[in-house]
Amino acid sequence: MPNRPRRRTIRRCAVVGGGIIGVAVARELATTLDGVQVTIYEKENRLAAHQTGHNSGVVHAGLYYEPGGLKARLCRRGVELLREFCAAKNLPYEACGKLVIAQTPEESTRLDAIFARATANGVPGVRMLGGGQIHEVEPNAVGLSALHSPETAIVDYTAITEALAEDVRAMGGTIRLGQEVLGLEQQASGVVVTTRDGGEHFDLVVACAGLQSDRLAEATGEPANPKIVPFFGQYFLVGPEARHQVKGLIYPVPDPKHPFLGVHLTKRIDGEMMLGPNAFISFGRESYAWNQVKMSDVASYALFPGFWNFARQNVPSAVREFQTVVSRKKFIREAMRFVPSLEGASILPGTRGVRAQAMNSDGSLVDDFVIARRRDTVLVRNAPSPGATSSMAIAEYIVEQALQGG
């Protein structure tokens, strides 16, 4: 018989980061390993404090991703796990559906390619609509053609993270809030996790540090690149008199000339309707307001050649995004391309998020998930959208990979 890989003997595990991916990894470790002690380190005083708690709440169906790639596989598996978990925990999960609407013949051609990818990825119920059929799904929407994904859903990712954490605690795990990890040091066997309270030894450490992932990776001896460059995304809320004009999610067709998607309409699980986000460089990795400036974060990308390469390559995109930053009217006009009846609706400020955008030294953006292994440490270096959707599948993948071999 062929030799099968031996599973490692692991008794003590640490997870760095209390976002949805980190907590899902901790839960998967506690579920998979008998008698294991799992500890989560989170530098904030609550879980889901950053990207998890500032996103749109969309459960992506897997429309855009390269068939066979890690994103495509983990997204589809992640949807299944997330839906089952929400049902088991009685958490809201609404398959409100999504339209990706083309406004020009060129966009229609690109939409056909997205449909082919979605079909290859096994996205359930996906179909193409002519312009005259759009109103059957979204009565107030207009366009030349559209892709309809009826199973695209919305959830509350913060509530899901808390429910995952409850499971971790129920299985004997420990969650240490307000504990910033300052270093990870590989030993002859295992890793010492250092905080201001000192060091502690673990057999396995998984770092899911999001906006700080490159810094933590570099501290372990990993390459400095890809580097995290923070981009903020501002959302607005449609006033209560107009929020019911859109039933689900309405997205533009991605434009390969622009690195970010552009303004779209997103129903939220609490019934609010969001417009956005735009995407512009942030003055801090964890800055959620204009007056929150962290010079060390600004210096980090200002001294990074990749950022300036990116900037030179994307001047038209920067102009487009900056217009939506400084002009609320421009922001709303972008949404009115798809739902003209929103004209005159009241618009209220919504949440702002900061995305951990991994960037190469040539200025290219890292698209797929990047998970690196350094002996007894696993580092999640890039987990962009659909990271939250895929969180429980990413956890499965990480744990299975980490347990192989000696």
Q: Which residues contact 150 (CB under 8 A, 6 or more apart)?
A: 95, 97, 124, 125, 126
For the chain, how many structural domains are there in total?
Answer: 2
Are 271 and 252 in a shared domain? yes
Residue span of the structural domain in which 235 resides? 227-359
| Residue found by looking up tokens 């001047």 in the block | 315
Are 277 and 339 in a shared domain? yes
Distance CA 212, CA 284 (A): 11
Distance CA 339, CA 244 (A): 12
Residue 35 in domain:
yes
CATH of the domain at 217: 3.50.50.60
Neighbours of 37 (CB within 10 A): 18
In what order do the strands lie in the sheet containing 191-195?
183-186, 191-195, 198-202
Are 192 and 306 in a shared domain? no
Q: Are 368 and 69 in contact (CB under 8 A)?
A: yes
Residue 398 in domain:
yes
Minimal CA–CA distance to 283: which of 292, 274, 273? 292
The per-residue pLDDT for 8 is 59
Residue 90 in domain:
no
Strands (E) located in 161-315: 174-177, 183-186, 191-195, 198-202, 204-207, 227-238, 249-252, 264-267, 273-276, 280-281
Are 45 and 174 in a shared domain? yes
Residue 122 in domain:
no
Residue 16 in domain:
yes
Are 210 and 287 in a shared domain? no
Distance CA 136, CA 354 (A): 35
Are 387 and 274 in a shared domain? no
Residue 22 in domain:
yes
Q: Are 234 and 276 in contact (CB under 8 A)?
A: yes
The per-residue pLDDT for 212 is 96
Distance CA 78, CA 126 (A): 18
Are 314 and 388 in a shared domain? no
Residue 44 in domain:
yes
Residue 267 in domain:
yes
CATH of the domain at 294: 3.30.9
SS3 content of the chain, % helix, strand, coil (to 5): 35, 25, 40
Minimal CA–CA distance to 265: which of 331, 177, 312? 331
Structure tokens at 13: 């595990």
Are 24 and 42 in a shared domain? yes
Distance CA 18, CA 38 (A): 13
- The radius of gyration of the chain from alpha carbons, rounded to an integer in Å, stands at 21
Are 40 and 187 in a shared domain? yes
pTM, full prediction: 0.94
Are 262 and 232 in a shared domain? yes
Q: Are 389 and 75 in contact (CB under 8 A)?
A: yes
The per-residue pLDDT for 326 is 64
The per-residue pLDDT for 288 is 94
Are 286 and 233 in a shared domain? yes
Are 394 and 349 in a shared domain? no
Distance CA 162, CA 38 (A): 16
Residue 17: Cβ-neighbour burial (10 angstroms; 0-12, 13-18, 19+):
buried
Q: Which residues contact 281 (CB under 8 A, 6 or more apart)?
A: 229, 230, 231, 232, 301
* Full pLDDT tens readout for the chain, 406 residues: 444 444 557 999 999 999 999 999 999 999 999 999 999 999 999 999 999 999 999 999 999 999 998 999 999 999 999 999 999 999 999 999 999 999 999 999 999 999 999 999 999 999 999 999 999 999 999 999 999 999 999 999 999 999 999 999 999 999 999 999 999 999 999 999 999 999 999 999 999 999 999 999 998 989 999 999 999 998 999 999 999 999 999 999 998 888 888 889 999 999 999 998 888 999 999 999 888 999 999 999 999 999 999 999 998 887 777 776 767 778 788 889 999 999 999 989 888 999 999 999 999 999 899 999 999 999 999 999 999 999 999 999 999 988 875 4
